[in-house]
Structure 1
């Protein structure tokens, strides 16, 4: 099919996933601003859990979660920027396949918008994408992550595109694309080798070069 625009996810598609230890360090740094030393279980509850888990961990330590969350987002963005500088968070080699793709390109990520901006600048991708969205550093921004189509729909509206392909590496990407009325391409990266899809994407591919061939 011919697409007006191709929109890609970031983590697991453009860049390799952020190491878990980086996310954990960001959670500990955020809690330290409130004079709290959370348990490993509590830290992982924030890293891997929902807002309900975050609220519960904050309640255990007597911290208002709505005050905690913006501090978490700032620390997470800073920790990932440092990981990029250390070479711990890098681009996939096949991102170069997007450079010559004769389609409007955009980026929509569940990561913080600040982190998205850092990645675009650090890897000199600013001119590649017409639109780029990450989540707002608020509780509401976190609620609007995929599988909500919120940010994906914003990007599609801004591009004024009718036929859109969204490229991701998870079930939430496939579902968000469906909810936004877009086709989806699931990239089965090495970290997704045994990953089970809950629904059927429009395409399943092995690389961004395969995505380019679809267009």
Structure 2
């Protein structure tokens, strides 16, 4: 764990892989299939996975193959993704990490900035009774522009920092895009190596590498 600035005005957290366990691929696939079904389309698993993991150009291509207007498709994809994840939370399949409880000991202004849908972030804050802990919370808007503004763009992170009026910020994430977004926003970063990141290769250097949220509390 590399030490740098030890006092921060605010600590902002990614959601999936940091606060909550990542959403299962089956849930994401269910959401994409449900969205295409509204247009009378049954895509292949390869096509579905291209929508989940591919670039937006790939999403457009899959829509073109099935003669679906991608600008009409995308809001339905986002709505179905939010609904599918809400159902996974209700079924107890998408849960908090146990160490989230230590954040009650963190005497700093806190926020959430996620690449997930804003509606999903709101659902998580309510379902797990976290709303009072975070001053701001941003997920991506359910639009093409919202998707383009996801990390590694610093767009939503910068909005959160501005809203918090914070000068020194630590952003906690579990991916290269989190580290890069923090750097672009002028924030320090803490990469948390959860079990699903055991073999993950960092392409950028975070300010810190930690194993748990306990380590984040210790930093601050």
TM range (shorter): over 0.9
CA RMSD between the two structures: 0.3
Corresponding position: 1:130 with 2:135: yes
TM-score, scaled to structure 1: 1.00
Question: Which runs of 5 or more residues in structure 2 are unaligned?
Answer: 1-5
Corresponding position: 1:114 with 2:108: no
- Describe the superposition over 1:155-204 as per-residue Cα deviations: whole angstroms up to 9, x where unpaired: 00000000000000000000000000000000000000000000100000
Question: Which runs of 5 or more residues in structure 1 are unaligned?
Answer: none
Shift of 1:143: 0.2
Corresponding position: 1:11 with 2:10: no
Shift of 1:100: 1.5
Within a 5 Å distance, the mapping from 1:101-180 to structure 2 comes to 101-180=106-185
The count of residues paired between Structure 1 and Structure 2 equals: 215
Q: In 2, distance between residues paired with 1:201 and 1:100?
A: 24
TM-score, scaled to structure 2: 0.97
1:90 corresponds to which of 87, 95, 119: 95
Corresponding position: 1:43 with 2:48: yes
Partner of 2:213: 208
Q: In 1, distance between residues paired with 2:159 and 2:145?
A: 15
1:187 corresponds to which of 182, 185, 192: 192
Shift of 1:50: 1.1
Shift of 1:209: 0.4
Q: In 2, distance between residues paired with 1:98 and 1:42?
A: 40
Q: Hey, which bits of structure 1, 4+ residues long, moved more than 6 A?
A: none
Corresponding position: 1:22 with 2:64: no
- Describe the superposition over 1:80-129 as per-residue Cα deviations: whole angstroms up to 9, x where unpaired: 00000111100000001111110000000000000000000000001000
Q: In 2, distance between residues paired with 1:85 and 1:49?
A: 28
Within a 5 Å distance, the mapping from 1:38-77 to structure 2 comes to 38-77=43-82
